[in-house]
Structure 1
Amino acid sequence: MSFDLYGRRLATCSSDRKIKIWEKEAQWQLQYEWTAHQASVWKVTWAHPEFGQIVASCSFDRTAIVWEESLAKPQTPLLSTDGSQAPAWALQAQLTDARESVHDVKFAPRHHGLRLATASADGYVRMYEASNPMNLSEWTLPESFLADSEGVTCLSWNSNRFDNPMILVGGNSNVAKVWGFTSARQWYVVAELVGHKDIIHDVCWAPNLGRSCHYLATASKDRTVRIWKLKLSSNREEMTEVKQVAMKDHGMFEVWRVQWNVTGTMLASSGDDGTVHMWQQDHQREWQCVSTISGDMSI
């Protein structure tokens, strides 16, 4: 699932091949749903609202698709909360370069323009760019690179507008990598995060609000959550320090997702134990579990 920038709309996707859009009024209401792919839909993500109401999805059917909401499109029979007909979501572009399942899709931070990164089981990260943000049917593929020969599972952008473009990528080889972008428009490995013993299910780059370093989080099949501290050199072209600062687990269960809060000071992780753990630094700068939330609300 993915919230929009304001947290008032929620997009969800499922193995039922559908995408659903929910909106918060007094409570969450289903606003629209449609069959989006020919197979399981793995991820869905929102673009910055500056570019319009746009979501992208990726699927086992080897495609990533860009969808746009438009009031000018034919109306659908699904009613919104006020009884009016909901606006349609139109397929604007179908990106078909991947040779295997596309596992993740993420829009770049707004200051990079309307760009989209995909992670595929064929091992490649592909960077797409809208030729004209006013015409979402035309996307180019200016860059692609082999990020993990065993398959890429997840990616996360560095949202700091003062850094060169950077993206964190995880895959089946148990080593997450930070990739940077040169002025010659080439992607290269800036740092390797070595320590996991199994497949990396998820990665997340923490928002940076004035810190001199970056925090990254990784979640793995090896049942651990790891937090990494990365420090940029003065020219911001390469990492001067890469250090694992915390390793936490969900007991005997795999960890599937990690997500930072908007200030990058608290990390949430979820796993097969049916719980969400909240991690935060204490007064000694050690990462501790400050809360555990159970799906059945019994904890």
Structure 2
Amino acid sequence: MATIRQRIDTTHRDAIHDAQLNLYGSRLATCGSDRLVKIFEVRPNGQSFPIAELAGHSGPVWKVSWAHPKFGGLLASAAYDKKVIIWQETSGRWHKSHEWAAHEASATSVAFAPSQYGLILASSAVDGEIGLLVYDAATSQWTSSKISKAHDQGVNSVSWAPALVAAGGEETPKRLASAGNDKNVKIWVEGENGEWHCEKTLHGHTDFVRDVAWCPVVNHTTYTLVSCGLDGNLVLYRTKNITSGEWTVKLLEKSNGALFHVSWSPCGGFFCRFLAMIIRFRSGGKNFQGQWTKVDRDNKEKGRHSKTSRRDSFQPRRDAPVNLIKLFQGVYGSQKKMALTCSDIPKFICALLLPPIGVWMEKGCGAQLVINILLTLLGYIPGIIHACIVILWY
């Protein structure tokens, strides 16, 4: 089962459209309709801290993408204002490094290429074109080019194929996948002259294709793609010989609603689609052979996630003193000064008992739960008596 391990309050003032972790999982970038890009430091102990709030777009920001850490702190964003902005961290401060405004309509997606190809950024837009930005280290300049008429009615997403080295030591050609409003997924390959052309058009949707993602792992020359769309289809594409153009298309799921995003885990064993579930791949033997199965969130996590109140979303843990403070705040509201009376004693007892009960409700049930509650009552009786005496005395 999949559980939510951490929640981060981004303080975005409007809808969040994308959230991306860097390669090490130590930083999180978010963007939203408030026209802002925000960066957070994420620590293994569950703590998170805001690092930067980047304002440079004049419309909703749809997508963000991290460059490989070997290029330093680089983040790209695409927005409704037709702009693609590359942000750079210098001496701990983030600033706008490059702005590209060559798209003629809303920029819908950005994606940095695998680091083996160098510093390259792909973008997509509603104008039906795919943009390519290549950084020249010799001149410290970005050069741009376009794939014109990539999709009719607009391109919604781009994704880079993983970089491989052939048996002879030569790199395989660069490849891109794109998802469009023409209901197709297309694979683009760079020729020897640097020109891009469509290598394959994949059909698996009956409505706009919202997102496409390459599996980051290639096993025995088997490439894998996954896409989702407004038709609710979650489609898997696979090929054992990418140069042959022979792909298998499999419908993994037909959702009741539209699907907007798909994303792989770094190892390629998991991917999730927005918003309801996670898909897991079970491998058999040494080869990637098996079935894709749905991994649901556990019931307790679903219940917590469905509550809108922060107070109601309190999660019991073993740190009873901290939980006691939180529950006390829940009993008495947000008052800074609390005066206890005799009528408050039942609430005080309830606040003392609820934290361990909440933990045992997660860990056990039945007779064991009753025994644990009774032991807890016995353990708290001296403290309760002392608290009552103090309250009545004052």
TM-score, normalised with respect to structure 2: 0.66
Pick one of 155, 159, 178 that aligns with 2:158.
155
CA deviation vs aligned residue, 1:13-65 (integer Å, no higher than 9, x gap): 11101111100234011111122301101111111111110101111000101
Aligned twin of 2:90: 70
Aligned twin of 1:145: 148
Does the aligned pair in 2 maintain the 1:279–1:291 contact within 8 Å?
Answer: no
Distance change in 2, residues 1:296/1:189 (3 Å): farther
Aligned twin of 2:123: 118
Long gaps (5+) in structure 2: 1-18, 166-171, 307-394
SS state at 1:118 partner: strand
Deviates more, 1:200-209 or 1:224-233: 224-233
Aligned twin of 1:37: 57
Does the aligned pair in 2 maintain the 1:209–1:263 contact within 8 Å?
Answer: no
* C-alpha distance in 2 between matches for 1:296 and 1:225: 27
Q: Measure how far apart 1:211 and its partner are.
A: 2.7
AA matched with 2:222: C
Aligned twin of 1:78: none
Of Structure 1 and Structure 2, the greater helix share is in 2
Q: Measure how far apart 1:209 and its partner are.
A: 4.1
Q: Measure how far apart 1:282 and its partner are.
A: 6.6
Aligned twin of 1:194: 203
SS state at 1:239 partner: coil
Pick one of 179, 187, 191 that aligns with 1:178.
187
Q: Measure how far apart 1:6 and its partner are.
A: 0.5
Aligned length: 274
Q: Measure how far apart 1:281 and its partner are.
A: 4.0
- Give the percent of matched residue pairs that are identical in Structure 1 and Structure 2: 28
Distance change in 2, residues 1:265/1:211 (3 Å): farther
Aligned twin of 1:225: 234
* C-alpha distance in 1 between matches for 2:69 and 2:212: 24
Does the aligned pair in 2 maintain the 1:145–1:187 contact within 8 Å?
Answer: no
More contact order relative to length (CA 8 Å, sep ≥ 6)? 1
Does the aligned pair in 2 maintain the 1:280–1:290 contact within 8 Å?
Answer: no
Aligned twin of 2:329: none
Does the aligned pair in 1 maintain the 2:235–2:251 contact within 8 Å?
Answer: yes
* C-alpha distance in 2 between matches for 1:51 and 1:133: 14
Does the aligned pair in 1 maintain the 2:223–2:238 contact within 8 Å?
Answer: yes
Does the aligned pair in 1 maintain the 2:199–2:245 contact within 8 Å?
Answer: no
Distance change in 2, residues 1:129/1:295 (3 Å): farther
Question: Does residue 169 of structure 2 align to residue 166 of structure 1?
Answer: no
CA deviation vs aligned residue, 1:183-208 (integer Å, no higher than 9, x gap): 11111111111020001111000012
Distance change in 2, residues 1:285/1:109 (3 Å): same
AA matched with 2:114: P
RMSD of aligned Cα (Å):
2.1
Aligned twin of 1:54: 74
Aligned twin of 1:82: none
Does the aligned pair in 2 maintain the 1:215–1:264 contact within 8 Å?
Answer: no
TM-score, normalised with respect to structure 1: 0.85
AA matched with 1:109: P
Does the aligned pair in 1 maintain the 2:179–2:212 contact within 8 Å?
Answer: yes
Q: Measure how far apart 1:94 and its partner are.
A: 0.7
AA matched with 2:105: E
Distance change in 2, residues 1:296/1:255 (3 Å): farther
Distance change in 2, residues 1:15/1:248 (3 Å): same
Distance change in 2, residues 1:295/1:191 (3 Å): farther
Question: Does residue 259 of structure 2 align to residue 255 of structure 1?
Answer: yes
SS state at 1:98 partner: coil
Of Structure 1 and Structure 2, the greater strand share is in 1
Question: Does residue 269 of structure 2 align to residue 265 of structure 1?
Answer: yes
AA matched with 1:45: S
* C-alpha distance in 2 between matches for 1:13 and 1:60: 12
* C-alpha distance in 2 between matches for 1:39 and 1:106: 19
Q: Which is greater in Rg?
A: 2
